[in-house]
Amino acid sequence: MERPAWAPRSIDISVPSVSRIYDYYLGGSHNFEVDREAGRKAMEFMPGLPKIMQANRAFMRRAVRFALDEGITQFLDIGSGIPTFGNVHEVAQAASPDARVVYVDHDPVAVAHSQAVLEGDDRAGVVAADLLKPQEILASSEVERLIDLNRPVALLLVAILHFVEDEDDPYDVVAQLRDALAPGSLLVLTHASYEGIPLPEERAKGTVDVYKDIRNPLIMRSRDTIARFFEGYDMVEPGLVPMPLWRPDTAPEDEDPWAFSGFAGVGRTA
């Protein structure tokens, strides 16, 4: 297997990665054949996966602009993946020269790419760390350099929590992050669910099985169990809703039906 020049030496390019599969869905170029193969398999069951990812990105951009309108200029994006056009720092810095962004991911390819994209940008940084170790993230040198935890922060957990199994207690992880942030901080979250998918659940389960096979289980949660991540937050209008319905820029009825799969929401700490 040919190793592309951009692939860090330390990674096994025969094992698919969630962030590179996501990059493939978005039409990116930083993925390997194993990632494309897994992505194609998943799309056999859910052909609308790229539409879901595009809806995730569009929601994220609207939420970043919302945070800036609220006067928040600090962004902590955990599970940030491989940077593609219209990433958090681009949206934030275009609207506010003061915006500071820290990306966090545990995929070496995502980290290497983020470093390359951010070279020369002293208001954005990247941390190689795992969501399951929130204290390590908070104590990292890039968070210390760029983020003042005594002022409100927008915490982005976009399309990441559905890769955390219940036995790893994702609710506790999110609560630890919440408790570390100043009052008035925001939680920006999206999560996969069988609710809203324009297919019978049995068919959609085929995609879940593909992720299980590559040892990155995709945990579909109900709207009620996703809402639990917002304990300790006041929901921002319109609450926890399908992605195209959260403060849309364009008419939701013009959206692809697949875009309504799963949920998105923003909460604010008191």
> What is the model's pLDDT at position 233?
98
**Other Cβ atoms within 10 Å of 135 Cβ, number:** 11
pLDDT tens-place values along the chain, 270 residues long: 677 777 777 778 889 999 999 999 999 988 999 999 999 999 999 999 999 999 999 999 999 999 999 999 999 999 999 988 789 999 999 999 999 999 999 998 899 889 989 999 999 999 999 999 999 999 999 999 999 999 999 999 999 999 999 999 999 999 999 999 999 999 999 999 999 999 999 999 999 999 999 999 999 999 999 999 999 999 999 999 999 999 999 999 999 999 999 999 999 998
Rounded CA gap, 18 and 14, in Å?
13
Residue owning tokens 């020049």:
5
Rounded CA gap, 232 and 67, in Å?
18
Three-state DSSP state, 147: coil
What is the arrangement of strands in the sheet containing 74-78, beginning at the earlier edge strand?
A: 124-128, 100-105, 74-78, 154-158, 186-191, 263-269, 233-235
Handedness of CA 58, 61, 65, 66 (dihedral sign): positive
Q: What is the fold of 50-269?
A: Rossmann fold (3.40.50)
Taking alpha carbons only, the member of 263, 252, 257 closest to residue 195 is 263
Rounded CA gap, 266 and 253, in Å?
22
Q: Distances from the Cα of 182 to the Cαs of 56, 131, 152, 153, 159, in angstroms?
A: 26, 19, 5, 7, 24
Residue owning tokens 């399951």:
132
Contact indicator for 24, 128 with CB cutoff of 8 Å: no
Q: How many Cα atoms sit within 13 Å of 148 on the Cβ side?
A: 7
> What is the model's pLDDT at position 1?
65
Per-domain residue ranges for the chain?
50-269
Q: Residue 245: CB partners within 8 Å, gap ≥ 6? A: 238, 252, 260
